[in-house]
């Protein structure tokens, strides 16, 4: 009974009971639900697929992992088939599926042959939502390559990280931190990548915090006897010891302070589409405020002042290291007035050039946010805004598109009475921080249509972060000491560990009952 086969069967029985409990939570409430899925490659290079279900249970938005399975074929057809296989034991009503949330990869998001298009054949009313956390990360990744100045800045940060990870250099870097700041805990530099959502922010803020130690270490190794190390240190110091680099360091630290709130907020499993809209719009308004130069104490002036303080502290006088031969004006525009740079990038020589760089970064950020967060094909965002007090209008024209799509009927009398009821509560001082409080004030037996619409809006999944968290759980389980673990065992352990709250409430007798139902034969060795 202690053999690996029996252990695996017990884990399978526990995972089966866990899924039965999740199934009862969904079906007992006849709840709308949304499907979340993402793929992952583990340390053994196996492709794994995580599937989650989002629904409302006891007045709380809930996201549960219902499947973590191996997949060999990464085509859209194979992924769709595997998702359907995972969901099939739950016996969910296809007409109650309101949406999918995947990443923006073509295999998942394609309108014709993508996973979401194939799944719509089974779930005709489901709406595909590109994971909003992934969208915001794409915005930041695009802005980090918005110009040669900016892309060179992030490349320099990564080169600095690589330089400081050498064994002797890393030890000296930690020692230098202790010498300069004995009371502060030693920190590590972070590499900036496009796939880790917080890495760019961490990379910038770590260098800004440790700038004094970084410059001292580069200065020491700039006089090193090793020619290769000396050249690398001198090259990095040459790039960093400029006003342009310090300005970009302070600028992106400020911008990432704003986006970090949205990045963390968009990863919440209880986030509704209304909260998502509020977060993104707040970020946009913050960037518009940063772009405003009309006020005497504008944000650019504050960033420039902090840049000047840092350059004076570290005795940095050079503006930029950018050089380049001036390019001749093409003959076809030789008689025209050229209002912008042509050819090679222009070096930063004064505060006006820094201001132009500041405006360019913010304009690109705002343009990317507007481009990637404008989809409202089914009018769901407008309907959600119309239902949210105190500014909600409850205008039927705004509620009609999603109602028509999901087959929800709201009578004029029902909508009118409910709107008046909410207005009376607002007048009486009752607040509605989110749509969930509005739903709590909307009994299903009295306002069935409005109740259904609110549940649909709240159930729509805005991110696929829950699936990402399953991968983090897998990483904690599938360590180097467990590298030979089989796929089935890994998947069952991951599912039970991720849903620890439900796992702790499983009845051992029920697990053994399921275990005993499986036919088995004794093996003699």
Mean pLDDT of 68-80: 90
Q: At what angle do helices 199-209 and 211-221 cross, to 10 degrees?
A: 70
Task: Categorize the per-residue pLDDT at 349 as very low, low, confident or very high, splitting at 50, 70 and 90.
Answer: confident
Confidence at residue 334, expressed as pLDDT on a 0 to 100 scale: 65
HSE (CB half, 13 Å, CA atoms) of 512?
4
Q: What is the DSSP string of 421-447?
A: HHHHHHHTT---SSHHHHHHTS-TTT-
Instruction: For residue 362, give both structure tokens.
Output: 């913010």
For 300-326, b/e burial (b = at least 16 CB within 10 A) is beebbebbeebbeeeebeebbbbeeee
Instruction: For residue 45, give both structure tokens.
Output: 């290079």
Mean pLDDT of 461-468: 88
Task: Find the helix or strand (DSSP H, E) in which 37 lies.
Answer: strand 33-41
The rounded distance, in Å, linking the Cα atoms of 253 and 303 is: 10
pLDDT digits (tens, 9 = 90+) for 359-417: 999 999 999 988 888 767 778 888 888 888 887 788 889 999 999 999 999 999 999 99
Confidence at residue 341, expressed as pLDDT on a 0 to 100 scale: 54
The rounded distance, in Å, linking the Cα atoms of 209 and 496 is: 40
Residue 245 is given by DSSP the state H
Give backbone dihedrals phi and psi of 149, rounded to 5 degrees, phi first: -60, -45
Q: Report which of residues 13 and 327 the model is more confident about.
A: 13
Task: Categorize the per-residue pLDDT at 122 as very low, low, confident or very high, splitting at 50, 70 and 90.
Answer: very high
State yes or no: pLDDT of 36 exceeds 90. yes
pTM metric for this prediction? 0.85
**Please, are residues 161 and 189 in contact by the beta-carbon 8 Å criterion?**
yes
Give backbone dihedrals phi and psi of 180, rounded to 5 degrees, phi first: -85, -35
pLDDT digits (tens, 9 = 90+) for 273-317: 888 888 888 889 999 999 888 877 788 999 999 999 999 999 998
State yes or no: pLDDT of 338 exceeds 80. no
Confidence at residue 524, expressed as pLDDT on a 0 to 100 scale: 55
Share of the chain above pLDDT 70, in %: 94
Confidence at residue 66, expressed as pLDDT on a 0 to 100 scale: 92
Domains of the chain: 4-131+464-517 (3.30.420.40), 138-371 (no CATH), 380-459 (no CATH)
Residue 401, Cα to own-chain centre: how many angstroms?
28
257, 387, 450, 466 from 392: Cα distances, Å: 30, 5, 14, 30
Mean pLDDT of the chain: 87
Confidence at residue 178, expressed as pLDDT on a 0 to 100 scale: 92
The rounded distance, in Å, linking the Cα atoms of 436 and 274 is: 10
Mean pLDDT of 499-508: 92
Task: Categorize the per-residue pLDDT at 59 as very low, low, confident or very high, splitting at 50, 70 and 90.
Answer: confident
Task: Categorize the per-residue pLDDT at 78 as very low, low, confident or very high, splitting at 50, 70 and 90.
Answer: very high
Comparing C-alpha atoms, which of 318, 303, 295, 361 is closest to residue 148?
Answer: 361
Confidence at residue 322, expressed as pLDDT on a 0 to 100 scale: 66
Q: At what angle do helices 299-313 and 351-372 cross, to 10 degrees?
A: 130
pLDDT digits (tens, 9 = 90+) for 410-451: 999 999 999 999 999 988 888 888 888 999 999 999 999 999
Mean pLDDT of 122-127: 92
Comparing C-alpha atoms, which of 322, 320, 314, 156 is closest to residue 235?
Answer: 156
The rounded distance, in Å, linking the Cα atoms of 380 and 274 is: 9
Confidence at residue 162, expressed as pLDDT on a 0 to 100 scale: 92
pLDDT digits (tens, 9 = 90+) for 476-493: 888 877 777 888 888 899
pLDDT digits (tens, 9 = 90+) for 193-210: 887 767 888 999 999 999
Comparing C-alpha atoms, which of 268, 276, 277, 272 is closest to residue 455?
Answer: 272
Confidence at residue 345, expressed as pLDDT on a 0 to 100 scale: 54
Confidence at residue 327, expressed as pLDDT on a 0 to 100 scale: 58
Share of the chain above pLDDT 90, in %: 46
């Amino acid at each position: 009974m202690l053999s690996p086969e029996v252990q695996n069967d017990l884990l399978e029985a526990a995972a089966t009971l866990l899924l039965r409990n999740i199934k009862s939570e969904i079906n007992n409430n006849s709840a709308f639900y949304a499907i979340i899925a993402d793929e992952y490659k583990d340390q053994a290079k196996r492709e794994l697929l995580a599937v989650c279900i989002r629904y409302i249970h006891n007045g709380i938005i809930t996201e549960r992992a219902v499947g973590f399975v191996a997949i060999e074929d990464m085509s859209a057809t194979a992924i769709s088939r595997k998702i359907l296989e995972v969901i099939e034991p739950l016996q969910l009503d296809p007409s109650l599926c309101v949406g999918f949330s995947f990443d923006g990869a073509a295999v998942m998001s394609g309108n014709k042959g993508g996973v979401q298009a194939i799944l719509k054949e089974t779930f005709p009313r489901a709406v595909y939502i590109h994971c909003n956390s992934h969208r915001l990360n794409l915005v930041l990744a695009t802005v980090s390559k918005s110009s040669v100045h900016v892309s060179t800045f992030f490349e320099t940060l990564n080169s600095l990280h690589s330089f400081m990870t050498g064994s002797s250099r890393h030890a000296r870097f930690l020692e230098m931190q202790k010498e300069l700041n004995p009371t502060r805990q030693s920190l590590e530099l972070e590499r900036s990548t496009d796939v880790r959502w917080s890495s760019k922010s961490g990379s910038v803020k770590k260098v800004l915090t440790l700038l004094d130690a970084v410059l001292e270490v580069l200065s020491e190794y700039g006089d090193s006897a090793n020619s290769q190390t000396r050249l690398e240190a001198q090259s990095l110091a040459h790039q960093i010891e400029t006003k342009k680099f310090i300005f970009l360091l302070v600028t992106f630290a400020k911008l990432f302070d704003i986006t970090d709130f949205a990045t963390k907020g968009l990863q919440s499993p209880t986030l509704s589409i209304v909260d998502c809209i509020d977060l993104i719009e707040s970020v946009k308004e913050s960037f518009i405020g940063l772009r405003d130069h009309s006020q005497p104490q504008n944000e650019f002036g504050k960033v420039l002042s902090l840049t000047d303080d840092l350059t004076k502290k570290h005795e940095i006088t050079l503006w930029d290291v950018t050089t380049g031969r001036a390019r001749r004006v093409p003959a076809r525009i030789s008689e025209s007035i050229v209002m912008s740079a042509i050819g090679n990038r222009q070096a930063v020589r004064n505060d006006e050039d820094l201001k132009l760089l500041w405006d360019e970064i913010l304009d690109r950020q705002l343009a990317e946010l507007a481009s990637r967060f404008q989809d409202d094909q089914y009018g769901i965002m407008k309907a959600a805004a119309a239902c949210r007090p105190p500014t909600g209008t409850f205008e039927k024209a705004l509620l009609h598109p999603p109602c028509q799509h999901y087959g929800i009927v709201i009578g004029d009398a029902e909508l009118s009475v409910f709107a008046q009821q909410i207005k009376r509560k607002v007048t009486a001082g009752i607040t509605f921080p989110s749509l969930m409080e509005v739903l709590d004030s909307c009994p299903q037996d009295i306002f069935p249509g409005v109740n259904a619409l609110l549940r649909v809006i709240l159930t729509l999944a805005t991110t696929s972060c829950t699936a990402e968290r399953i991968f983090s759980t897998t990483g904690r389980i599938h360590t180097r000491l467990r590298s030979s673990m089989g796929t089935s065992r890994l998947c069952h352990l991951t599912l039970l560990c991720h849903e620890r709250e439900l796992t702790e409430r499983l009845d051992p007798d029920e697990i053994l009952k399921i275990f005993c139902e499986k036919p088995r034969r004794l093996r003699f060795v």
